[in-house]
């Protein structure tokens, strides 16, 4: 029995070695087995044999290599040459087993891919990534479509949004489902006409400013009748062109026409499981409060990477703001902040004012949802100077925070222009593959500067993002010394 086992193990050696030494090796084994009887000698024998395999196997295969070198050296320099390592041709059974193994692996991979893992968050972000659109869990989702279930809520932007959004995001309130894949219908004149008509109708019905809606719709339809889209064969390019025309005709950068190769479907509200998952992720990341400390000269420093849902992270937010209240001035570092919840934007901003401040937000449906809850109990920050650090990665809700503090002259922005997310409020499906996002808010922006959509927020002090903290600290020192 054990001899058979060793014979099998010996097959691990290269065939050349087996041919030369197979019989000898088995003979050696037999002689040792014959002399070393009893439990302990047997254990020792097998320990020796296994150790020998481990040591000798790599060496035996390395020895095969030099067999090639003479052929290489004698072969003509530029002509490729082939050398068989074995004199014998490969056994036909080897081909058979190789094919069998390949098929088995292939089948295993496809079965695994099909039947494992139900990760809606992941799938939504993949689908969204394919479209260059970020699913935004925090958009208000008023359902302007009249509750006919036609409205998915997303936010989106012109550039690639920071990668961590997908992983740190709350499970979307509703998301693009990719479960039932249907092939894309032929993109032709009729389809283009249908999409234009759908967009015109949706804009007329849903856009807050009726005069603009009418003007924009007419211009699109006039273009279409004039044959302006006849040469656009690529649906994605068509969507981009429509986006550009809508924005220029309306002067509103919150328009976004989206094409998705996967059918756009809407699925149910997030499950309790997804909520629990979000809660766990948020709490594990300390709710985005990466660093909360008092720097020398009593300057408070808050590094915030996400605006988490205050329903879950209220405790962390209060603890951080109370700790920072001991400072004379506050630096809020949003350079790596990828956005998040507008409610957290209002909640944190509330600590910086002694009476409610108006935080304009293109994603909120009414003005009532744009006021901070100031004064906040226990805040010592209402009259202290604030610096906000920004970078090109400062995105969405973080731009909302920066924009309104700047317009209210409550903070000095130090760093780079922010990313410029197109935070649309609602998203309407036109058909299976086209949809349009637009500003939901019927509230006019009271501030002189246009908001961040597509253009970002300009800093007050422009320095490279990496130098922003040092620059803000220097300014803080100067300003606090004057007091």
Q: Could you tell me which stretch among 59-67, 74-82, 273-281, 311-319 binds other proteins (CB under 8 A)?
A: 59-67
Phi-psi map region of 339: left, alpha, beta (phi>0 left; psi -120 to 50 alpha): left
68 contributes a contact to other proteins by CB under 8 A = no
**Under 8 Å between Cβ of 134 and 171:** no
**How far from the centroid of its chain's Cα atoms is residue 395's Cα?**
13
Q: Which of 316, 322, 323, 319 is nearest to 288 (CA)?
A: 316
CA distance linking residue 225 with residue 223, whole number of Å: 6
> For residues 17 and 347, which CB has a smaller minimum distance to other proteins in the complex?
17
User: Distance between CA atoms of 190 and 178, rounded to whole angstroms?
Assistant: 25
Does 10 sit near other proteins (CB under 8 A)? yes
Place of tokens 């020792």: 44
Half-sphere exposure of 151 (CA within 13 A, CB side): 21
Using CB under 8 A as the binding rule, whether residue 445 contacts other proteins is answered as no
**Using CA atoms, how far apart are residues 239 and 300, in angstroms rounded to an integer?**
46
CB 172 within 8 A of CB 137: yes
Who's near 282: CB < 8 A, 6+ residues apart? 168, 170, 288, 306, 308, 309, 312, 313
Q: What's the burial of 280, exposed, middle or buried (CB within 10 Å: 0-12/13-18/19+)? A: exposed
The single residue listed with the structure tokens 């009748």 is: 225
Question: Is residue 25 near other proteins by the rule CB under 8 A?
Answer: yes
Candidates 57-65, 178-186, 243-251, 472-480; binding stretch for other proteins (CB under 8 A): 57-65
What part of residues 185-214 is at the interface with other proteins (CB under 8 A)? none
Of the candidate spans 45-53, 138-146, 177-185, 286-294, the one that interacts with other proteins by CB under 8 A turns out to be 45-53
Assess contact for 364 and 140: CB atoms under 8 A: yes
Q: Does 3 bind other proteins (CB under 8 A)?
A: no
Binder to other proteins among 4, 38, 39, 59 (CB under 8 A)?
A: 59
Q: Is 448 in the site for other proteins (CB under 8 A)?
A: no
Task: Work out whether 51 is an interface residue with other proteins (CB under 8 A).
Answer: yes
Of 31 and 271, the one with the shorter C-beta distance to other proteins is 31
- Give the binding range for other proteins (CB under 8 A) out of 46-54, 128-136, 216-224, 316-324: 46-54
Comparison of 16 and 384: residue with beta carbon closer to other proteins? 16
Q: Smallest distance from the beta carbon of 49 to other proteins, in angstroms?
A: 5
Does position 28 interact with other proteins (CB under 8 A)? The reply is: yes
- Identity of the residue, 24 or 148, whose beta carbon is nearer to other proteins in the bound complex: 24
Q: Work out which of 37, 63, 91, 298 binds other proteins, going by CB under 8 A.
A: 63
For other proteins, give the closer residue by CB, 8 or 78: 8
Site for other proteins, rule CB under 8 A: 10, 13, 17, 20-21, 24-29, 31-32, 48-49, 51-53, 55-57, 59-60, 63
């Amino acid at each position: 029995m054990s001899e058979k086992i060793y014979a099998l193990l010996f097959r691990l050696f290269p065939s050349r070695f087996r041919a030369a030494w197979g019989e000898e090796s088995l003979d050696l084994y037999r002689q040792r087995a014959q002399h070393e009887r009893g439990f302990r000698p047997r254990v020792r024998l097998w320990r020796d044999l296994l150790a020998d395999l481990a040591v000798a196997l790599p060496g035996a295969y390395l020895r095969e290599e030099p067999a090639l070198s003479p052929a290489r050296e004698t072969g003509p320099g530029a002509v490729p040459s082939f050398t068989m390592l074995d004199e014998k041709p490969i056994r036909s059974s080897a081909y058979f087993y190789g094919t069998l193994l390949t098929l088995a692996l292939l089948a295993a991979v496809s079965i695994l891919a099909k039947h494992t893992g139900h990760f809606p968050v992941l799938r939504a972000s993949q689908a969204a990534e394919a479209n260059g659109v970020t699913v935004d869990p925090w958009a208000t989702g008023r359902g302007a479509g009249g509750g006919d279930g036609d409205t998915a809520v997303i936010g989106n932007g012109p550039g690639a949004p920071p990668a961590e959004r997908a992983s740190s995001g709350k499970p979307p309130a509703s998301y693009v489902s990719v479960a039932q894949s249907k092939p894309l219908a032929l993109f032709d004149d009729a389809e283009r006409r249908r999409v234009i008509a759908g967009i015109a109708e949706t804009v007329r019905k849903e856009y807050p400013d009726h005069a603009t809606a009418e003007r924009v719709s007419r211009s699109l339809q006039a273009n279409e009748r004039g044959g302006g889209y006849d040469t656009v064969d690529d649906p994605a390019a068509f969507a981009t062109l429509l986006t550009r025309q809508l924005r220029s005709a309306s002067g509103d950068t919150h328009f976004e026409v989206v094409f998705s190769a996967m059918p756009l479907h809407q699925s149910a509200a997030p499950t309790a499981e997804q909520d629990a998952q979000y809660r766990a992720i948020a709490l594990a990341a300390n709710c985005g409060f990466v660093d909360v400390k008092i720097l020398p000269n009593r300057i408070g420093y808050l590094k915030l990477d996400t605006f988490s849902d205050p329903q879950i992270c209220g405790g962390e937010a209060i603890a951080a703001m109370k700790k920072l209240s001991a400072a004379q001035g506050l630096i809020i570092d949003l350079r790596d902040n990828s956005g998040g919840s507008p409610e957290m934007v209002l909640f944190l901003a509330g600590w910086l004012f002694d009476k409610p401040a108006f935080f304009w937000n293109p994603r909120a449906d009414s003005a009532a949802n744009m006021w901070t809850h100031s004064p906040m109990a226990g805040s010592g920050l209402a009259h202290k100077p604030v610096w906000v650090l920004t970078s090109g990665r400062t995105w969405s809700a973080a731009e909302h925070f920066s924009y309104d503090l700047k317009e209210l002259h409550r903070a000095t922005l130090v760093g780079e222009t922010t990313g410029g997310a197109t935070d649309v409020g609602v998203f309407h499906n036109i058909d299976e593959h086209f949809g349009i996002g637009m500003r939901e808010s019927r509230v006019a922006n009271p501030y002189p500067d246009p908001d961040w959509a597509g253009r970002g927020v300009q800093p007050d002090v422009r320095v490279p993002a990496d130098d922003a903290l040092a620059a803000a600290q220097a300014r803080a020192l100067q300003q606090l010394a004057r007091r």
